[in-house]
Amino acid sequence: MKPMDQVLETAEKIRSMEVRGAGRIATAAAASLRDFSMTLEVKSLDEFNAELENAANLLLKTRPTAVSLSNAIRMVRKYKAEDVDGARQAVVLNANNFIENSQKAVEKIGQIGSRRIRDGDTVLTHCNSQAAISVISAAHSSGKKIKVIATESRPRFQGITTIGMLEKLGIETELIVDSAARSVMNEVDLVVVGADVITANGTLVNKIGTAQIALCAREARTSFMVAAETYKFSPKTILGELVTIEEREPMEVLPDISKYRHVKVRNPAFDVTPHQYIDLICTEAGAISPEMSYLIIRERLGWDMDEEV
């Protein structure tokens, strides 16, 4: 397989959501750039850099909301090299470090976040988040008896992946339709969700339906926690940039639209939860209030205000 074909194949898997979840798509993109750089045949460093940029752009276009993708790609491409071999080695090292750190971050988030779950608690989660499941699984492994309520997460039903994972872990789980969130909220002690993006002021962008859950959690006085690796924070939001919300194909919602002449199906993949509705963001760097997001971006992502936008 030609080096660029491998990148195109990974990009298609991410676009079609065969590979999904903000963390998984970031590590898949890092691995793809690593493998691309290892097999790339070029005559000069300039050519290597240009080819790597083309590959990076192909991956970046796949899921427009996920900042995990652009952060991963930025970290992999952060190198200064004298020649092609030096650049190749740096890309491989950066990608492997990113993948390893990402796995460690998910574990650490589990350890930290699970302290917020008490024995006997009922936890509600939405969609399928590695980071949120790490929190739930760490609480369960530490011997706490917990119950999980998982939403289906229309239209792609990632909740079915979640209940499959919880089943394997032996955790008592109930599956609900998304619109049952308010009906069960009075039985819930803590909501734990993942993140696709967290902005500089602590606003959360996550799977469609999250904002409604946060709203009813607040009304029911139920705590709402976000589990997110620090590379889910968006540096560009410091510079005032707004997060693009991905709108996916209508057929994910209604496979046969052809018989409707006056109906348009809308399929936004994510929604926006204001920071006031979030009690805590649990990262590998610690549990923080949403208002501390700016510091995470400056300190953990090493974002410099003069960096190119």
* Residues found near ligand RI2 in the complex (CB under 6 A): 20-24, 127, 129-131, 158, 193-196, 206-207, 269
Residues 6+ positions from 59 with CB-CB distance below 8 Å = 7, 10, 11, 14, 29, 32, 33, 69, 73
For ligand RI2, give the closer residue by CB, 116 or 207: 207
From the list 193, 241, 200, the residue with the least C-alpha distance to 215 is 193
**CA atoms in the 13 A half-sphere facing the CB of 124:** 28
Nearer to ligand RI2, 213 or 297 (CB): 213
CB 181 within 8 A of CB 216: yes
Is 216 an annotated catalytic residue? no
Active site residue 196: yes
- The answer to whether the peptide bond before residue 155 is cis (omega within 30 degrees of 0) is yes
In which element (H, E) is residue 297 found? helix 293-299
Please report how close the Cβ of residue 248 comes to ligand RI2 at its closest, in angstroms: 9
Catalytic residue among 196, 216, 279, 282: 196
| CB of residue 102 to ligand RI2, shortest distance in Å | 9
Q: Toward ligand RI2, which CB reaches closer, 21 or 110?
A: 21
What is the closest distance, in whole angstroms, from the C-beta atom of residue 23 to ligand RI2 in the complex? 3
**Smallest distance from ligand RI2 to CB 135, Å:** 10
Backbone angles phi, psi at 203, to 5 degrees: -70, 140
Instruction: Considering the candidates 127, 178, 216, 279, report the single residue annotated as catalytic.
Output: 127
Structure tokens at 203: 């606003």
Region of 90 please: left (phi>0), alpha (psi -120 to 50) or beta: alpha
For residues 87 and 79, is the Cβ–Cβ distance under 8 A? yes
What is the C-alpha to C-alpha distance for residues 228 and 196, in angstroms, rounded to an integer?
A: 8
Nearest to ligand RI2 of 35, 196 (CB atom)? 196
Cβ-based nearer residue to ligand RI2, 33 or 127: 127
Q: How far is the CB of 191 from ligand RI2 (least distance, A)?
A: 12
Active site residues: 127, 196
